[in-house]
Amino acid sequence: MILVEHATVLTVDAERRILSDGSVLIDGRDILQVGPAPSVRPPRTPERIIDGRRRVVAPGFVDTHVHLTEHLSRGLMLDDVPVARYLPDWLLPLYSTVTPEEEAAAAQLACVEMIRTGTTTFCEAGTLFDVAAVADAVEAIGMRAILGRWTWDVGGQTGRLRQTTDEALGHTADVLAKVHGRAGGRLGAWPLLLGFGTGSEALMLGAKALAERHGVGWGMMHLALHPRLRTRDTTSVARLDELGLLDQRTKLAHMVYVDDADIARLARRGVKIAHCPSAGLKHTKGLAAHGRFPEMVEAGVCVSLGGDSGNGSNHFDMLRLMYLAATVYKDARLDVSVLPAERVLEMATIEGARALLLERQVGSIEPGKRADLVLYDLDTPEWRPLLNPVNNLVYAASGASVRTVLIDGRVILDEGRLTTLDERALYDRVERLGREHVRRAGVPIESKWPVIR
Ligand SMILES: [Zn+2]
């Protein structure tokens, strides 16, 4: 048993209680009791007591759309590379040459970044080739994750990147059989499609059928249509609905261009959305001008947050994603009431859990749920004074105040020290593998400013 006592606890429970002197009792992987400190009574002496008097305890964030592999080439692309050149000139050469060792190292780097910024659960956009290597890496670090093989079947990919419909569905069935339920249920697997016009209707329908058979969700990237946007992503939300592809198992990432009828459809069908504000802004997807995420939230659509990719957002820091989600639309609409901090914190926690069909296990601090907790250090300037912890968390906090992280009841970050991995060795490995990977792909490492060696 672990007892965290006398902390400020943001429960995000049904009543959204904030306990100013609260305790959380953890038994094994589960939360046993939560409440005002005097009411939490361990049935036996806990093995560890964590003094929470100078800590805020919040549910671990749930990041619903990350590309693990691209972390190994993070920051490679210069700002003024035209968006249309990303795939042919950079991403496809990188994607097509990555090795299992590199995919695993990228996953480790991504996991460490997420843990150190308060994320405890994530869903991958899709591993390129070796899900088993990625699953081993994620399992060893101790994160909770939904993994899967990235699939597509149209779009003219060649060589190692080519997949037929049957191959794509076969890869997915294989991962569902081998990865789903691993690590005592901490690792899940879903059918994951690249989307953006690279999946046939047969692939989408096959993915959904596999998801139903295994009782899991399925995910795809979808921009939705905009008349002025040149995109291969030509399947409308209405068409997806006609095909029977929209229901509570469906998670769609990005989803910038939707109209009122689309929003009503998404709400009616219980579709889950991964909103990726940092990547949307940097990739000039037109978020501020066209994004309808506040309206989706208003209509009852489950909108969660995603960090996206190493050259899209360049980071997987949910604290910064929350800040953007809470500010971009206020400014765009000239309305301070749009997406308040409380709503955005829900997007990063309980709505993220709903998006991954994990709301009975994570996303809030409640008895019976898994103990996925983040302890923020109040001895940091950003948290003081502690007049409104929600505002401090959404608008002021940075990863620098993340001191201790528990996942599945296990202390993964202990007073700033990672317990499951040698971080220094990882950074050395990533530096070496990242350079080898980029060189092998034949992509130049460029700088606009002279680099003196
Ligand atoms: Zn993405």
> pLDDT tens for residues 236-275?
899 999 999 999 999 999 999 999 999 999 999 999 999 9
Report, as an integer, the average pLDDT of 186-191. 98
Residues 6+ apart with CB under 8 A from 306: 63, 64, 65, 66, 253, 274, 275, 276, 279, 321
pLDDT of the residue at 36: 98
At the top level of CATH, the class of 2-59+369-418 is mainly beta
Cα 125 to middle of ligand 1, angstroms: 6
pLDDT band of 87, cuts 50, 70, 90: confident
Cα 200 to middle of ligand 1, angstroms: 18
C-alpha to C-alpha distance for 305 and 344, rounded to whole angstroms: 9
Three-state SS string across 316-328, please?
CCHHHHHHHHHHH
Cα 140 to middle of ligand 1, angstroms: 25
Domain boundaries, the chain: 2-59+369-418, 61-355
pLDDT of the residue at 232: 73
3-class secondary structure, 87? helix
Cα 45 to middle of ligand 1, angstroms: 46
pLDDT of the residue at 227: 54
Cα 96 to middle of ligand 1, angstroms: 17
Cα 21 to middle of ligand 1, angstroms: 40
Cα 176 to middle of ligand 1, angstroms: 21
Cα 68 to middle of ligand 1, angstroms: 10
Cα 193 to middle of ligand 1, angstroms: 10
pLDDT of the residue at 228: 60
Cα 66 to middle of ligand 1, angstroms: 7
> pLDDT tens for residues 103-138?
999 999 999 999 999 999 999 998 999 999 999 999
- pTM exceeds cut of 0.95: yes
C-alpha to C-alpha distance for 392 and 374, rounded to whole angstroms: 15
C-alpha to C-alpha distance for 121 and 142, rounded to whole angstroms: 10
pLDDT band of 70, cuts 50, 70, 90: very high
Q: What amino acid is encoded at 122 in this protein? A: F
Cα 165 to middle of ligand 1, angstroms: 21
> pLDDT tens for residues 125-182?
989 999 999 999 999 999 999 999 999 998 778 889 999 999 999 999 999 999 999 9
Cα 273 to middle of ligand 1, angstroms: 12
Cα 52 to middle of ligand 1, angstroms: 37
Q: Is the model more confident about 136 or about 82? A: 136
pLDDT band of 93, cuts 50, 70, 90: very high
> pLDDT tens for residues 409-422?
999 999 999 999 99
Report, as an integer, the average pLDDT of 36-43. 98
Cα 309 to middle of ligand 1, angstroms: 6
Q: What is the CATH number of domain 61-355?
A: 3.20.20.140
Cα 65 to middle of ligand 1, angstroms: 6
> pLDDT tens for residues 318-374?
999 999 999 999 999 999 999 999 999 999 999 999 999 999 999 999 999 999 999
pLDDT of the residue at 443: 94
- pLDDT for residue 229 is more than 70: no
Cα 287 to middle of ligand 1, angstroms: 15
> pLDDT tens for residues 284-320?
888 999 999 999 999 999 999 999 999 999 999 999 9
pLDDT band of 226, cuts 50, 70, 90: low
Cα 79 to middle of ligand 1, angstroms: 18
Residues 6+ apart with CB under 8 A from 178: 131, 132, 189
C-alpha to C-alpha distance for 60 and 279, rounded to whole angstroms: 22
Cα 92 to middle of ligand 1, angstroms: 14
**Residue 109 structure tokens:** 């780097």
3-class secondary structure, 98? coil
